[in-house]
Structure 1
């Protein structure tokens, strides 16, 4: 007998808890780097952001395709991974990007990622404890993306503190969720 879809998604996340932890650590390091270098140049900010979303996207794909999981359980992680990789690659292909375009890239990535995390949290609310951490990370992403898109005239460097704060909050939520999922055990036979 197959497990319900939400349980399979929760199992997939629990088995790949380390990717959430690693993504959280990378986000926290990105946020700290932004605060440590308050006069960071656009080129460095672009490089850090590109690296952050590229690695985050790769880790999401690793989580989606590790272990044999039914296809319907993968779509959120696959979509999030593809968006992250595309955003990261675009940043590196286009190194002369302006602060305004960088801000729109960051805003779009944050909104899409946040919506996917909110959807995942809603789907998992009956399966795992502390799914609200994923929902809070998603809401923080969406709010940050909207704020960045509404105030583009401020430029990426002028709202650096917002970018750093968002990255740290997002990272802490993923880190806590990943560590809690590490201890989540699924009863019964393994998911096939």
Structure 2
């Protein structure tokens, strides 16, 4: 009868994120805050646009004014997404760059929109595509902490797209209000998520593990593989 005790390897709790995952999340922190602030500013400006029943002029808005507001937001939003993609892990860059790219045809269609129905079509298609790509980004980042931020943003934009698709008879001001509400919700989520990621990175650095020097999990695995020789042993130092 063997007297050897079974070997057990200590494993870190599943709830505790690895330093590599926290570092990858920290790299998304600043772009998420920038993107969130943009959404909050646009949302507040549009959701709380003056609406006074006693003044009929405040119950409607020309389509071209809404077009220009939406175009300005999408241009800044695309730039924020490009900044986020540069700092994002490799496995999610395609999705984020895709979000920036689909803003281009939306901007073109908004320039051509002369009626609320055309405005609604342009924004609904953009919102649905953006939501789908946001969900793709969530699937790629599921292993990282706080990935649910991207899932909430995906659901918010998808809901906006559905509302606009079935919103027959909506006027330009109503379209602007619903769009602003969606960007406001997503913006708040991204500000909180970005700040949380930056805080996690600072906590990691205080423990003596600078997050800036740690790559993403995929990059770390590639680095580890390159350090080993073909026979599985570490390379010897040559004089």
TM-score normalised according to structure 1 size:
0.79
1:149 is matched with 165
Structure 1 residues 30 and 189 mapped into 2: Cα distance closer, same or farther (>3 Å)? closer
2:154 is matched with 138
Q: Secondary structure of 1:128's match?
A: coil
- Whole-angstrom distance in 1 between the partners of 2:74 and 2:137: 19
2:123 to 93, 99, 106: 106
Q: Which runs of 4+ in 1 moved over 4 A?
A: 7-13
Gaps of 5+ in 1: 1-6
- Whole-angstrom distance in 2 between the partners of 1:114 and 1:55: 18
Show CA shifts across 1:84-137 (max 9, x none): 233234434x3x5321111111111111111111222233222112x2222111
The structure that is helix-richer by fraction is: 1
Paired residue total: 181
- Whole-angstrom distance in 2 between the partners of 1:50 and 1:142: 19
2:84 is matched with 63
1:3 is matched with none
User: Does the 8 Å contact 1:115/1:142 carry over to 2?
Assistant: yes
Gaps of 5+ in 2: 1-18, 52-57, 205-210, 220-239
The CA RMSD over aligned residues, in Å, is 2.8
- Whole-angstrom distance in 2 between the partners of 1:137 and 1:117: 7
Structure 1 residues 134 and 152 mapped into 2: Cα distance closer, same or farther (>3 Å)? same
Is 2:30 aligned against 1:18?
yes
Shift of 1:153: 2.3
